[in-house]
Amino acid sequence: MEGIGIDICQGDLDRAESKRQQRKITNVMFQHADATALPFRSDSFEVVLLLEDVLAYPSTFGKHDIVVSELRRVLKEGGVAVHESMNWKWEYRWPYPPSDISFTRSATNNFTMHRIRRDVSGLEKTQDYEVLPGSPLYQWILEQEWPVSPQGVNAQLEVREYTPIPEEWLKFCSVS
């Protein structure tokens, strides 16, 4: 059996090729391609695998009908297509970090935390929290270096939550 792996990201293809060579796999090759315009003849494959939630990628999001049409086109009659999709609800449960957090500072030093997570379909879901004064999270926010806007105000702080905010800190927030 032979296989062709495609990706729109050349860096990912380079890493895959490196691992293929390390493992001495000879029946797989890699090619740069977009799932919305597969560079293969119709009726070419018995099996097509879409791995790592391809339909949620920016290049294919909103183009699901095009991707599915391309899958149908390249599959032989009776062929099988398998789509691996992440369970976003599981992935973004504690202790897994959400994608982004931003804090907004009011003129009276009150803070709002805007947290972006993904729902089970992979779509962004947001929640705003008021951070209670005197709490550990409030103190942490005060200690951060805030960027200064062109207006000279440092009213927005955006962070990646690489290390999850301790759950006990979130007890000091109220949902807005």
Q: Which CATH number goes with the domain that contains 75?
A: 3.40.50.150
Tens-binned pLDDT, residue by residue, of the chain (176 aa): 789 999 888 888 898 999 999 999 999 999 999 889 999 999 999 999 887 667 666 566 677 788 889 989 999 999 998 877 655 444 444 444 445 677 787 777 788 887 776 555 556 667 777 888 888 888 888 887 777 766 666 567 776 554 556 666 666 566 55
DSSP string, 87-125: -HHHHTSTTS--SEEEEEE-TTS-EEEEEEEE-TTS-EE
Domain closes at, from 83, 115, 137: 83
99 and 40 within one domain: no
116 and 45 within one domain: no
pLDDT value for 17: 93
Instruction: State the Cα–Cα distance between residues 141 and 83, nearest whole angstrom.
Output: 41
169 and 94 within one domain: yes
DSSP string, 32-78: E-BTTB--S-TT-EEEEEE-S-GGGSTTTTT-HHHHHHHHHHHEEEE
Instruction: State the Cα–Cα distance between residues 95 and 91, nearest whole angstrom.
Output: 9
Cα angle 139, 174, 128 (rounded to 5 degrees) comes to 90
Q: What is the pTM of this model?
A: 0.48
Domain closes at, from 59, 83, 107: 83
Task: State the residue range of the domain holding 73.
Answer: 3-83
